[in-house]
């Protein structure tokens, strides 16, 4: 899979899965737009000679999202790939869940995914007749949360699970809408993966087929397939990358 001269917007690119995705895309020839609330210096240092653009701001803000896509077009002239990865994960249970935390997860994980898809598809991908959109969901959006322990006890919270379930439903809806324009829309649903979101959380992986936590590169490998020209006949799919946790 090569991405020579293709332009990819990756949200949450400062660390974790987003960082791994941006680096892998750049290594395969893509120009990458690094979107995050925090500076992406650690990612940039690993891009080598790849062309990149850093856009820092709040992905929940429509004006920032539109400005990011506009800057991408002004800088590179086009955009072929969008990876909606940035997210938050509260671990409050239903009894303790506040409206503030509820909307934080819903807005970061689901609203921002909607905003970025809308901004890149209309008019850019639609006019080009080509696009690859990959939304990072979670197996928590399919099974109601993975039981974990450690410093942060219990499952990921109801807001996180609801938002990721929404990402899956939105992925399928948009895929049906834009396939006629040559745009595919798919989702990667990670299981327990070693990122900042899972720091301090202990997962029992002994019951998995693959007895370890996932890495950001494990998830990025799946993203790159969906982002490639090889995936031209694959859309509306949710690929679980969870070490076999959800088998059965």
- Under DSSP, is residue 16 helix (H, G, I), strand (E, B) or coil? helix
- Residue 39 CA to residue 46 CA, distance in Å, equals 14
Check: CB of residue 83 under 8 Å from CB of residue 112: no
Phi, psi (rounded to 5 degrees) for 205:
-95, 5
* The token pair that represents 9 in the structure block: 């917007």
The residue annotated as part of the active site, out of 52, 103, 130, 160, is 160
For the question of residue 160 being annotated catalytic, the response is: yes
Indicate the SS3 state at residue 248: coil
Decide if 190 contacts 165 (C-beta within 8 A): no
Active site residues per annotation = 160
């Amino acid at each position: 899979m090569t991405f020579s001269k293709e332009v990819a917007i990756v949200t949450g690119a400062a660390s974790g899965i987003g960082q791994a995705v941006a680096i892998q895309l750049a290594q395969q020839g893509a120009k990458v737009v690094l979107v995050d609330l925090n500076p992406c210096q650690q990612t940039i240092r690993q891009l080598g000679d790849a062309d990149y653009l850093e856009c820092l701001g709040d992905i929940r803000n429509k004006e920032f999202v539109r400005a990011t896509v506009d800057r991408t077009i002004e800088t590179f002239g086009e955009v072929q790939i969008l990876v909606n990865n940035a997210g938050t994960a509260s671990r409050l249970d239903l009894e303790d869940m506040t409206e503030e935390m509820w909307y934080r997860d819903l807005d970061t994980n689901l609203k921002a995914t909607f905003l970025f898809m809308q901004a890149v598809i209309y008019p850019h991908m639609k006019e080009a007749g080509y696009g690859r959109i990959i939304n990072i969901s979670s197996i928590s959006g399919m099974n109601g949360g993975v039981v974990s322990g450690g410093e942060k006890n219990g499952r990921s919270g109801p807001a996180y699970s609801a938002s990721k379930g929404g990402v899956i439903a939105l992925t399928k809806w948009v895929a049906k809408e834009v396939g006629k324009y040559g745009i595919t829309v798919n989702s990667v649903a990670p299981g327990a993966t070693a990122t900042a979101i899972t720091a301090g959380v202990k997962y029992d992986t002994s019951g998995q087929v693959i007895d370890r936590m996932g890495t950001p590169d494990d998830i990025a490998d799946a993203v790159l397939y969906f982002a490639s020209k090889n995936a031209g006949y694959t859309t509306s799919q949710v690929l679980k990358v969870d070490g076999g946790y959800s088998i059965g």
